[in-house]
């Protein structure tokens, strides 16, 4: 699969062009999501997961760098070993590295949230999935998932409906209790999935990093140059 994506602000300003590529080898799938920003910034995430009776993350590598990201990050997850390594830049511009061993559950979904939502029963997603957030110190959180109905859209003149999912970050523990009070609770993410025999991603609205603005990711259609008559 190769999909073309566009990253925009909520008011419609284009920030980046993107590609989503997935290849399968046996029961192993490699999913790569890349955004090239107009200002030269880059976000690239490569997730490798197995697909048997359930989806299971094997590894994930996230890179965010350039002016669009106040704190550049390079995070690698070895899901089977529970090893997470984050290279980042602190407030003083100094490079730092944080290595953590986390007890990662089998439902950790870094780099494959969209794949998970395309493979659930429409309107009946799992209550939550695990997620490793780079804050920049790696932290295991839960993404609480709920289906809030269907929203209508059109492709050319064909009317369609997509299931609207809301993902809420559950930080957990004492930190989770005080996060809303100090303004550090991340905003909810929204994802729209077209159902049917071959479910498809339609749109999402989410922050790309901790403390970042909510942006919109949508499918993009190729534009061909006009031919001279």
List, for residues 97-111, the tens digit of each pLDDT value.
999 999 999 999 999
Domain ranges of the chain: 2-219
List, for residues 59-81, the tens digit of each pLDDT value.
999 999 999 999 899 999 999 99
Q: SS3 for the chain, per residue?
A: CEEEEEEEECCCCEEEEEEEEEEEECCEEEEEEEEEECCCCEEEEEEEEEECCCEEEEEEEEEEECCCCCCCEEEEEECCCCEEEEEEECCCCCEEEEEEECCCCCCECCCCHHHHHHCCECCECCCEEEEEEECCCEEEEEEEEEEEEEEEEEECCEEEEEEEEEEEEECCHHHHHHHHHCCCCCCCEEEEEECCCCCEEEEEEEECCCCCCEEEEEECCCCCCCCCC
The CATH class that applies to domain 2-219 reads mainly beta
Is the pTM value of this prediction over 0.75?
A: yes
List, for residues 77-98, the tens digit of each pLDDT value.
999 999 999 998 887 888 889 9
């Amino acid at each position: 699969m190769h999909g073309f994506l566009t990253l925009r602000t909520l008011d419609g300003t284009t920030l980046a062009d993107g590609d989503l590529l997935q290849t399968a080898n046996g029961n192993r799938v490699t999913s790569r999501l890349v955004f090239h920003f107009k200002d030269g910034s880059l976000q690239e995430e490569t997730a490798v997961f197995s697909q048997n009776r359930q989806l299971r993350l094997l590894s994930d590598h996230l890179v965010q760098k350039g002016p669009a990201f106040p704190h550049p990050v390079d995070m690698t997850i070895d899901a089977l070993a529970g090893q997470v390594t984050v290279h980042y830049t602190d407030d003083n511009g100094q490079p730092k590295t944080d290595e953590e061993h986390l007890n990662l559950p089998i439902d950790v979904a870094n780099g494959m949230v969209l794949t998970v939502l395309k493979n659930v029963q429409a309107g009946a997603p799992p209550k939550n999935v695990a997620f490793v957030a780079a804050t920049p110190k790696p932290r295991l959180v839960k993404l609480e998932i709920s289906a809030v109905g269907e929203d209508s859209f059109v492709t050319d003149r064909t009317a369609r409906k997509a299931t609207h999912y809301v993902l809420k970050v559950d930080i957990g523990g004492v930190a989770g209790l005080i996060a809303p009070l100090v303004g550090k609770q991340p905003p909810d993410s929204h994802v729209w999935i077209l159902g049917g025999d071959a479910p498809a991603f339609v749109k999402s609205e989410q922050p790309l990093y901790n403390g970042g603005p909510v942006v919109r990711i949508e499918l993009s259609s190729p534009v061909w140059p006009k031919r001279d008559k």
